[in-house]
Amino acid sequence: MWIARCLAALVAVVVAAAPVLAQDYPAKPIRVIVPTAPGGMADILARYFAQKFGEKTNQPIIVENKTGAGGVIAADYVAKAAPDGYTLYVGFHATNAILPTLDPKLPYNAAKDFAPILHIANLPNVLVVNSKVEAKSVKELVELARAKPGALSYASQGIGSSGHIAGEQFRLLTRTDIVHVPYKGAAPALQDLIAGRVAMMFDIVPFALQHIRDGSVRGLAVAAPQRVPVLPDIPTMAEAGYPGVQGGAWFALFAPAGTPPAVIDLLNKAGREAFTAPDVRDKLEPRGVVLVLGSPAELGAWIATDTERWAKVIREAGIKLE
């Protein structure tokens, strides 16, 4: 009986403390760790969140760029931070869905070391070809690749990038022999695509958008469940006959595992408010950014699905970091 009363009292204290914690938070500045350089999409999203949340709380929200090792340095820093809600992380597909399979020496456990807060945005891949490539559709591209095994090459942003894995996913599902040409980033890959040195690539919509519009590349399909509003005339890969080709970049807000649920819920609400603000949407959506938002549980489920999708491609294609 005595033990039961103690347990009941402990539960009551914990339950009572949760709303108090949420009410008191934040009581000091918050740092938002970004794994990429200033000016990139992760940085832009972090600064919109920091601005809106800071205006609401009257606490400084400090965006800190910790670059290096493809985002691993930043992710590991947050994974080992105190779970008190004062160190947050704008994670993305590489650090939280691709590298867990690709890098066996990763210093953190992506599935266990982070508490999901908010799925901020998706940047879907779009399959683009050089304007002189004969194919005007995915069907014609597949027919061309099958007619000329090994003759078509696809560019990527680098080994293990979303464009690389999407290209291998396409190659496997279409049973075509296309050659991977890795670059050091999206810009040189896109430049060589426009120049005709490679035939095709999967690039995120914000990077490819202007080139599709000016005709320097031709968009064949988007690797997303629905058409992208800024490219309404380009079908989805499912409409083109290959529903299994999905993916692109995504960005989400995380905290270290063990952060109190009340704080996670407060940050989720703050994030949804920040990214539904008209002035923020008006800056992001015309660039091809698809705002997702949703609950922490939905983000967790998304990451699990995305991780398994890329793990399957990485295993089947034999992709390894060099």
Provide the CATH number for the domain around residue 92: 3.40.190.150
**Residue 189 placed within a domain:** yes
Distance CA 280, CA 293 (A): 13
Same domain (yes/no): 131, 91: no
In this structure, what CATH number is given to the domain that contains residue 172?
Answer: 3.40.190.10
- Selection from 184, 179, 226 nearest residue 205 by Cα: 226
Distance CA 108, CA 196 (A): 40
- Selection from 250, 72, 60, 26 nearest residue 80 by Cα: 72
Tens of pLDDT along 216-263?
Answer: 999 999 999 999 999 999 999 999 999 999 999 999 999 999 999 999
Q: Are 110 and 97 in contact (CB under 8 A)?
A: yes
pLDDT tops 50 at residue 184: yes
Which segments of the chain are extended strands (E)?
A: 30-34, 61-65, 87-92, 114-130, 153-156, 179-182, 200-204, 217-222, 248-256, 290-291
pLDDT tops 60 at residue 57: yes
Task: Give the single-character DSSP code of 223.
Answer: S
Same domain (yes/no): 94, 55: yes
Same domain (yes/no): 149, 113: no
Same domain (yes/no): 57, 115: yes
**What is residue 289's predicted lDDT score, i.e. its pLDDT?**
96
Tens of pLDDT along 187-198?
Answer: 999 999 999 999
**Residue 234 placed within a domain:** no
Tens of pLDDT along 8-51?
Answer: 444 444 444 444 455 789 999 999 999 999 999 999 999 999 99
**Residue 322 placed within a domain:** no
Write out the residue range of the structural domain in which residue 269 sits.
28-122+248-317
pTM over 0.95: no
In total, how many domains does the chain have? 2
Same domain (yes/no): 253, 113: yes
**What is residue 24's predicted lDDT score, i.e. its pLDDT?**
87
**Residue 235 placed within a domain:** no
Same domain (yes/no): 206, 284: no
Same domain (yes/no): 159, 183: yes
**Residue 287 placed within a domain:** yes
- Over range 264-273, report the average pLDDT: 98
Which amino acid type is present at position 65?
A: N
**Residue 22 placed within a domain:** no
